[in-house]
Amino acid sequence: MKLFLEKNLLVSYAIHINSYQDLKLIENSLLIISKKCKIIGITYSINSDVIDENKIKDIFLLLQKDIINLKVYGQIKNEGYDFRKHLHTIKKFKEEKLYKEYILMMNDSVIPISSSRFNKTMFNLLSFMNEGYEFIGLLVSNEIKKHYQSWFWCCDKSTMNWILMQIEKIVYSENKTEFVIKLEVGLSNYLIRNKRCIGLYNFNIKKNLFYHHSNVYIKALHNGFPFLKKNYFIKEFRKKYRLKLHKEILNYLPENII
């Protein structure tokens, strides 16, 4: 059976809102992503020190009028980070009998640069879905050990069910690094070794593309790489980690969200 994005792909989109600037970036991403799937479901958490919970609910209600295939599954605590949010969303998909052949797990840590770049990526994703790949990542990482960065994991139904079982087994820790190693690195490394899998981009570098290889990243952007790292555009994050934002990277930020 030939698959189609608009008929056969569900997207689980995990969100953590730290600021209203965050929200502007997230809204832009949702508008682009929603056009290349059947349903996009979101579960979110907020920084309650700066974000008004009721205001966020109202904003998402308005957004659902513009994005008819957007389902908002509510707010949860940021325990378990994005994985816990995906678990919550995909359980809702199952309850509503929406569960399809493939689910794409994404999060708001990256921003699609443009519809054209994102659409090309999704066309490539669809070709691998139709070839029967069970686990598809966007970016291969060799940090710690080989894995796919978890902000873009696409899995068939069987693989996704296995991932959800592993997430449920994990004891949630406040140590984010430890949690990421267990889930992002551990799970995807296991799947790479045991499933039919493929990564869309592999730059054969040891450290994080976004934070340690700006020259490689800029060249990738010139060649059509579809995403920007959201934290690049958050001043507080750059200050905390002493990151310098390269002007060539800044030029790729969509004009409507500067």
Q: Check residues 90 and 143 and name the one with the higher pLDDT.
A: 90
Share of the chain above pLDDT 70, in %: 92
Count of residues in the chain: 258
Strands 135-141 and 147-148: antiparallel
Query: Phi-psi region for residue 253, left (φ > 0), alpha (ψ -120 to 50) or beta?
Result: beta
Residues 211, 217 contacting (CB under 8 angstroms): no
Angstrom distances, CA of residue 203 to CA of 67, 80, 85, 150, 200: 34, 29, 29, 16, 10
User: CA-to-CA distance for 45 and 47, rounded, in angstroms?
Assistant: 7
pLDDT of 251 reads 80
Residue 158 has pLDDT above 90, yes or no: yes
Q: Would you identify the CATH topology of the domain 5-206?
A: Spore Coat Polysaccharide Biosynthesis Protein SpsA; Chain A (3.90.550)
- In this structure, which amino acid lies at residue 9? L
- Report long-range pairs for 124-133 (Cβ below 8 Å, ≥24 apart): 124/200, 125/5, 125/154, 125/200, 126/3, 126/4, 126/5, 126/9, 128/198, 129/3, 129/8, 129/9, 129/101, 129/102, 129/154, 130/2, 130/3, 132/196, 133/196, 133/197, 133/198
The tens digit of pLDDT for each residue in 139-157 reads 999 988 999 999 999 999 9
DSSP 3-state of 54? helix
Q: Check residues 182 and 51 and name the one with the higher pLDDT.
A: 51
Q: Residue ranges of the domains in the chain?
A: 5-206
pLDDT of 171 reads 64
pLDDT of 214 reads 83
The tens digit of pLDDT for each residue in 6-52 reads 999 999 999 999 888 888 889 999 999 999 999 999 999 999 898 99
Q: What is the pTM of this model?
A: 0.94
Q: Which of 39-53, 125-139, 225-239 has the lowest mean pLDDT?
A: 225-239
